[in-house]
């Protein structure tokens, strides 16, 4: 994987806690970032130092042990996790989670996260078959939690039956498959344009727009995480390139068009999120224009329409997605652009709305397609929106 996925490994207090050492080690060797949270009872079975050494990260135990004053530890772990893996998941841990109890670091973080959670149960066979435990497990399953089923055999307590936590190799394989399943664009090639273009007037002046490139860069990261090989063609922005993404930097609309057409034949999905200047100065002066007259007239000439050019050239198996930043009659303008430029989807937003304009970290959009369907996505971060856009338009490639 090009970007390290962060797995929060929760270890609760059961004899199977010793297997967490192997899980942490194997996941780290596979280039996952592993952060461990232990209950205090888990420390009776395996030391925090062991898991810290194997994960190469500090181990969290106490909710109030705040080592970094810039963040709240359990919220930071909750927000940054790609997956929560609880191994072992004891009957006590699942009971507290099923009823929304948060009395330690692990349960507090679990209630705060929006990441997927998978539980690897481990307990005595009679505990596993207890109707209360079964009811708790059913409730958690209905709430969207996943399970890695325990095995049957000789248990540490001496009984024989179901309740033995799955082996580390099985758990690690489940994790690997989980991330593969969440890559709907695996093997696909995606081209994304982002940011503004810059059209020079003279050596020190130019025309541009307010685009920050944040939406395009978020889409590039989301597409890369979805398994695609991503080519990002970007105007000048102050953003870091997402890991694993190939970026080509351009300045003008003509340069962007040239680079897009160069890579177009090999692409499966083209997302034109850049805010390309509609016009450019007809004459670009070699020397700086002096401030002499009270008024200055600059004649503009029309730039090529990159989306239209792509729409004319794309094959039937290629998908073109455009963006429409409007201030009025958003639906009408978006549908007109969708048709005229032979797009398959268009993502439209009203940039006059609070939280939806250029330069901010949030957006509000509606996705339209040629079949006449609409998908409205409410105000949220551009990163979250990007994931939903990639999932929605990527389905057309499957």
Active site residues: 157
The DSSP 8-state label assigned to residue 43 in this structure reads G
> Taking the mean position of all CA atoms in its chain, how far away is CA 72?
22
Matching residue, tokens 């922005």: 237
Matching residue, tokens 């997605």: 321
CA distances to 78, 131, 264 from 72, rounded to whole Å, are: 10, 37, 45
Burial of 237 (0-12, 13-18, 19+ CB in 10 A): middle
Which helix (DSSP H) or strand (DSSP E) does residue 16 occupy? none
Q: Is the dihedral of CA 336, 228, 360, 196 positive or negative?
A: negative
Q: How far apart are CA 333 and CA 337, in angstroms?
A: 6
Burial of 184 (0-12, 13-18, 19+ CB in 10 A): middle
Q: How far apart are CA 41 and CA 25, in angstroms?
A: 21
CA distances to 1, 6, 10, 366 from 179, rounded to whole Å, are: 9, 11, 18, 28
> Taking the mean position of all CA atoms in its chain, how far away is CA 209?
27
Q: How far apart are CA 183 and CA 49, in angstroms?
A: 34
Q: How far apart are CA 190 and CA 389, in angstroms?
A: 13
SS3 of residue 152 by DSSP: strand
Matching residue, tokens 């059961």: 14
Q: How far apart are CA 134 and CA 211, in angstroms?
A: 53
Q: 19-29 and 168-181 are packed helices; what angle lies between their axes, rounded to 10 degrees?
A: 40
């Amino acid at each position: 994987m090009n970007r390290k996925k962060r797995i929060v490994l929760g270890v609760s207090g059961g004899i199977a806690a010793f297997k967490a050492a192997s899980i942490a080690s194997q996941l780290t060797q596979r280039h996952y970032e592993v952060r461990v949270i232990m209950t205090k009872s888990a420390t009776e079975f395996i030391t925090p130092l062991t898991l810290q050494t194997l994960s190469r990260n500090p181990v969290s135990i106490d909710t109030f042990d705040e080592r970094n004053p810039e963040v709240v530890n359990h919220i930071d772990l909750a927000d940054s996790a790609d997956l929560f893996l609880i191994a072992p998941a004891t009957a006590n841990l699942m009971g507290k989670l099923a009823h929304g109890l948060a009395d330690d670091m692990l349960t507090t973080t679990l209630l705060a996260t929006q990441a997927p959670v998978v539980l690897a149960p481990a307990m005595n066979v009679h505990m596993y078959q207890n109707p209360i435990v079964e009811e708790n497990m059913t409730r958690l399953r209905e709430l969207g939690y996943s399970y890695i089923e325990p095995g049957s055999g000789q248990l540490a307590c001496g009984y024989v039956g179901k309740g033995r936590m799955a082996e580390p190799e099985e758990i690690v394989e489940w994790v690997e498959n989980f991330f593969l399943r969440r890559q709907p664009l695996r093997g696909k090639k995606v081209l994304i344009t982002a940011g503004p273009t810059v059209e020079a007037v003279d050596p020190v002046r130019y025309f541009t727009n307010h685009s920050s490139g944040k939406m395009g860069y978020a889409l590039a990261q989301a597409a890369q995480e979805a398994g695609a090989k991503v080519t990002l063609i970007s105007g000048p922005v102050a953003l870091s390139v997402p890991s694993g993404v190939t970026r080509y930097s351009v300045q003008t609309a003509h340069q962007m068009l040239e680079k897009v057409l160069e890579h177009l034949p090999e692409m499966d999905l083209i997302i034109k999120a850049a805010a390309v200047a509609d016009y450019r100065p007809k004459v670009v002066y070699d020397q700086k224009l002096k401030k002499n007259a009270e008024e200055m007239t600059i004649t503009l000439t029309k730039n090529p329409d990159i989306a239209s050019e792509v729409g004319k050239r794309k094959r039937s198996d290629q998908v073109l997605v455009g963006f429409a930043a409007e201030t009025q009659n958003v639906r009408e303008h978006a549908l007109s652009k969708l048709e005229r430029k032979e797009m398959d989807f268009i993502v439209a937003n009203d940039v006059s709305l609070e939280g939806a304009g250029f330069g901010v970290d949030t957006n509000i959009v509606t996705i339209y397609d040629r079949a006449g369907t609409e998908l409205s996505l409410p105000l949220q971060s551009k990163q979250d929106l990007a994931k939903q856009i990639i999932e929605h338009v990527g389905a057309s490639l499957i």
